[in-house]
Structure 1
Amino acid sequence: MRTLQDILRSDSVLRQQWLPVEVAADLVVAFEERFGTAALELACHASVPLVVDAGMVQLIRQNFLSQASLSWVAEADLLLSPLCRPIGEECYQFEPRVRECLLVELEDRFGSARQGWIAEWVLAFGDSPASQGYPPEVKHTHRWIGLAYTHPEGLLEEMSDT
């Protein structure tokens, strides 16, 4: 079975449009040096849903990182950093190669199960009142990402139906 690292090392036409892995890794390292390890761990967790806003980052921090040293300022630092780019009104997306680096860091620091827990949370978030203001395409993206981690066969079924 291929590991996440094997997949990340493979090349594709799509990945050729992304930042080079060295540049993405440098951005992640620079972020940790500037804002600290706790802020990087927040970035790692927030990279799972791909598309986030300030409210979702806050909920991720509260649900997965109960560190007193991490305040709401870290949420703003993350969203306004080079790790993220604005994609709409108050919505942000991680640059794809940066996201890959953050997902590897998340697995290295917290184990492979952590991504699944966050994905389950993302699925539950999509059904909660907190997600009411999200555009349908963002909610759809969250659902597919959550299913990719928790029920890949269900995702394939859902994708084939669309």
Structure 2
Amino acid sequence: MTFLLFIVSTLISFLVAKSTFISNWLTKWNSKFSAAEKELHKQKRALKQEQQQYSMIDDFAKYSKLQRKINAIDEQLEKCVNTKNPFWTVVLFNYGPKVVLSMVLLILTVYYRRTPLFKLPDFVDLSPFNNVISYPNERNFVSFHFWVMSCNVAARTIKIW
């Protein structure tokens, strides 16, 4: 049981510290273009290429007609973007994983506050810090909340992503 608790607490601590990686992935996944948006972008690209064939001064009528079509496509794309409700998706995807994982970690910390994760050998003496490391337990035991706090500090210090 304590080995599983040791692994789970370490993983969740690292995931909380590196939750920006998860939120960036979720944001990219959510902001993918739909089929209609892809088609509109394709039409806009084709109209832009066709518009580049004409001179703005010499072929003003054709050039402006294409520009009006491009503007209409831009308006449709703007409507598609506005329907996605970006404020809530940003809040949900940027802060959601961090809040959920932090709450799981908090619940585990409260529930297993008196559970020692492992015992340090007797020859290891961490004299000034023994009470902090093994707070509700006996000497040379590492408590759950100290381990979670140590994992969070280590995870925030390590620059992986």
**Band the TM-score falls in, shorter-chain normalisation:** under 0.3
- TM-score between the two structures when normalised by the length of structure 2: 0.23
| Greater Rg over alpha carbons, structure | 2
More helix by share: 2
What TM-score, normalized to structure 1? 0.23
Q: Which has the higher contact order (CA 8 A, sep 6+)?
A: 2
